[in-house]
Structure 1
């Protein structure tokens, strides 16, 4: 595989508008968490968050303003750069403005809309995609971009990650009782929840050849990456650290490293009781009881959701340069389980490698290993892999009904409303979780279930490295609107925690992972191209790059009052496998 260079980084956070400002604040244990003035917090669990003052007067266009600030001095990009966006809730303030002032169109808040504007702003001609994997979005976006370059499928990839602080998200975490009433204290023995933040990060990845021809100097190499699902719970981590351990081990194997080679860990470290303990458990499992020097930046700037991974990549690069990780702001007395790894002071280390990780709703975990540049790692020539796979299962839910091929049904996309799904339409046996799902998740999970049934993949005894790539145009926008109707009155006093959990479009993938033991990488994809074709492109690339030997690929598009009339609505999923067997319907392939 080819080396993957990180040649440029940029960050925006409550700590400042540059990477250096952020680093200096972290080293001083400074906290940028302050009482929120953007909206009333009287009825919420907390008043604290990390906000960027320059966005306070930009309601309804905050994502656009945030990205303008981020990329203002980023400079020129190499030719044929591909754009990968990463966000958890896009420009959700557009939806807030619609409900609060009856201005604008809710569909404008979709990641596709933001992606198109960003692509035009940067004058890019290549396809652009957005990856949504909740709070691991930008980590998985960097991993995907690195895979493209390592395997010769791209020479330059720009990852742009962003999320804003909105009352929508603030009310949701308050309803879930996930926020601390005080500024968060990651890994502290008295920690009691997270603090939210907003921010953005840009990471330019290139091949070594492209870096040389463009006059760019690598800040670091991406030496390895791993992505895995807990297949355990939608909003809580696996207590045994299953998914994170699997992702760390994948990243180590890809980089050809031993646990002893890693110098330090930039942890997700949200400040919640269960997340932080899970990370300590995973670190001790992989690195031994004494672990590695570890820190979190979320006590300083808050949890920036989909932007967290990109911001933390920039911090990890600074740590490699300085051979020093910052202290954990908010930490006073470390959780005894991780006391040997954590500190209220900067921690030195001696290594060419640092590990950074993020986890998110839906059970997803992403890990990156960064390497100091200029080392003599061998680089092999990359020959772009063949993009082909065998289709072994097909399932769907459309306005014309639901089914799968081996039951004798025929697919028809149809027009009109989708059928109202009941549990018995899909699952012959009781399945209590189905009744809790929003309509978007019911359609997606049902189509996946029918595809798995068609491929004879429903039954399982052990979790398996089976991935999912799901495309969507407007995602769970309808669920967003239903949730906001509960959150709007009395500033969130009656906000629905169950509905909020499903306002992240990747959560139906988490439901599928739990149901079928799917522990591979999974994410929701938005695209500036047709959703179906781009899902297939990305899925075939994931298979070709060795993410797993089996993968679910498809789309899940909701009914939407404000969407284009000619949209395909419903869900359609294929089971793709690299090896042919007696279940194969045939082979599908794409060029480049």
Structure 2
């Protein structure tokens, strides 16, 4: 068996301080965008999606850490675990592991959460927990899901916690501005008038567990992480190519032993090239699977923006919500669909699914970092 249990999720986002608040806001089509404050500099866009300070009362320079530790505690609670068990794996995803470094302090919330803070928040024994830092650009959290799943399937542990966060800071915001990816109006994935990304804040976490471990505790998972693929396409320095995305999705489905997918939660950030490449790849996938109807896809980034390294966390929460409730969320901000190839459709509004058994979650990043995850419904 290659599936592991998605035992619990945690998420604090601009739509609210819990996974449930994010899911309901996504179904309602809310766009949690506002004006950029607190970061010096002239940028192409002043539109951001920030977590309210009341939802994240963080000391200066520790906003990422507060978001991450809050999400980690949520995920453990959802998994029914009072603490991270001894012998567990902790995977931290972020831009950088710089700790107590003057360069990090000058850039405010650029530095990632300190492992010792996460271990304390999870009431974990540092001597009996393996800590790994992982960074694969904006696909980091999805790469971490695959890594943690392999770790569990190899028998190295029964439990893994993946955690990360995105917090607005001058360094990361400027890095998006300098490559001209920021939308001056707010991200609108798959829209004919899309013109770039919106940077968002948020913290996410999820607990993965071996099937035997979940059964031993009598815990019903939110879903099964049944397949994963992580492919680095070195032919593209920045944007992903359609054939690389298609191959990544196919490899994830092959890994899961699945020949049908009911919905794709797209990476789609709101850039013209990126959205088009993903749509072309999904259409090719649908053709290869022999789908009788266009394969539906949507993106959360029109609601909360792009959480950069942490962008896969809301994707997994959305996928779990789809499998649980059989509702495919729409894409907030999508008003006028850009032309799409045959075999795929972009959802503007939520749509009831006739079946909700398998979902693909895509996550792509600079330097050709591509990851696709297959989540499957947990019955019984």
Considering the TM-score relative to the shorter chain, is it more than 0.5?
yes
**Counterparts in 2 of 1:49-198, with a 5 A limit?**
49-54=48-53, 55=56, 58-73=59-74, 74-75=76-77, 76=82, 77-89=84-96, 98-99=105-106, 111=112, 114-122=114-122, 123-124=124-125, 125-198=128-201
Residue 7 of structure 2 aligns with which residue? 7
CA displacement at 1:100 relative to structure 2: 7.4
CA–CA distance in structure 2, aligned partners of residues 97 and 140 of structure 1: 24
CA–CA distance in structure 1, aligned partners of residues 361 and 135 of structure 2: 18
Q: Which of 349, 365, 368 lines up with 1:360 in the alignment?
A: 365
What does the per-residue CA deviation read over 1:166-216, in whole Å, with 9 as the maximum and x for residues that have no partner? Answer: 111112211211111001100111111000001111110111221122342
- The structure-2 alpha-carbon separation of the partners of 1:59 and 1:29, relative to structure 1 and needing over 3 Å to count, comes to same
SS of equivalent residue, structure 1 residue 277: helix
Preserved contact between residue 59 and residue 97 of structure 1 (Cα < 8 Å): no
RMSD: 2.4
**Counterparts in 2 of 1:73-472, with a 5 A limit?**
73=74, 74-75=76-77, 76=82, 77-89=84-96, 98-99=105-106, 111=112, 114-122=114-122, 123-124=124-125, 125-238=128-241, 241-258=242-259, 261-288=260-287, 291-337=294-340, 340-349=344-353, 350-374=355-379
Max radius of gyration: which structure?
Answer: 1
- The structure-2 alpha-carbon separation of the partners of 1:110 and 1:5, relative to structure 1 and needing over 3 Å to count, comes to same
Relative contact order, higher structure (CA 8 A, sep 6+): 2
CA displacement at 1:90 relative to structure 2: 5.7
CA displacement at 1:68 relative to structure 2: 3.2
CA–CA distance in structure 2, aligned partners of residues 343 and 205 of structure 1: 29
CA displacement at 1:144 relative to structure 2: 1.0
Preserved contact between residue 352 and residue 371 of structure 1 (Cα < 8 Å): yes
TM-score when normalising by structure 1: 0.58
Select between 339-348 and 320-329 the one with higher mean Cα deviation: 339-348
Residue 438 of structure 1 aligns with which residue? none
CA–CA distance in structure 2, aligned partners of residues 323 and 366 of structure 1: 24
CA–CA distance in structure 1, aligned partners of residues 205 and 106 of structure 2: 31
Q: State yes or no: 1:21 paired with 2:26.
A: no
Preserved contact between residue 224 and residue 252 of structure 1 (Cα < 8 Å): yes
Residue 44 of structure 1 aligns with which residue? 43
Preserved contact between residue 8 and residue 203 of structure 1 (Cα < 8 Å): yes
Preserved contact between residue 2 and residue 256 of structure 2 (Cα < 8 Å): no
CA displacement at 1:322 relative to structure 2: 1.2
- The structure-2 alpha-carbon separation of the partners of 1:276 and 1:368, relative to structure 1 and needing over 3 Å to count, comes to same
CA displacement at 1:160 relative to structure 2: 0.8
CA–CA distance in structure 1, aligned partners of residues 50 and 110 of structure 2: 20
Count of aligned pairs between the two proteins: 363
Preserved contact between residue 62 and residue 93 of structure 1 (Cα < 8 Å): no
SS of equivalent residue, structure 2 residue 276: helix
SS of equivalent residue, structure 1 residue 67: helix
Preserved contact between residue 182 and residue 196 of structure 2 (Cα < 8 Å): yes
CA–CA distance in structure 1, aligned partners of residues 103 and 251 of structure 2: 40
CA–CA distance in structure 2, aligned partners of residues 331 and 324 of structure 1: 18
CA–CA distance in structure 2, aligned partners of residues 314 and 230 of structure 1: 27
CA–CA distance in structure 2, aligned partners of residues 185 and 132 of structure 1: 26
Structure 1 residue runs without a partner (length 5+): 102-107, 376-592
SS of equivalent residue, structure 1 residue 318: helix
CA–CA distance in structure 2, aligned partners of residues 100 and 279 of structure 1: 33
SS of equivalent residue, structure 2 residue 318: helix
CA–CA distance in structure 1, aligned partners of residues 57 and 212 of structure 2: 42
- The structure-2 alpha-carbon separation of the partners of 1:362 and 1:216, relative to structure 1 and needing over 3 Å to count, comes to same
TM-score when normalising by structure 2: 0.89
CA–CA distance in structure 2, aligned partners of residues 137 and 220 of structure 1: 20
CA displacement at 1:96 relative to structure 2: 6.8
CA–CA distance in structure 1, aligned partners of residues 279 and 348 of structure 2: 17
What does the per-residue CA deviation read over 1:83-121, in whole Å, with 9 as the maximum and x for residues that have no partner? Answer: 1111234679976774479xxxxxx9655x722332344
CA–CA distance in structure 2, aligned partners of residues 299 and 90 of structure 1: 29
Residue 31 of structure 1 aligns with which residue? 31
CA–CA distance in structure 2, aligned partners of residues 357 and 100 of structure 1: 30
What does the per-residue CA deviation read over 1:220-247, in whole Å, with 9 as the maximum and x for residues that have no partner? Answer: 1011111112221222222xx1221121
SS of equivalent residue, structure 2 residue 114: helix
CA–CA distance in structure 1, aligned partners of residues 36 and 280 of structure 2: 34
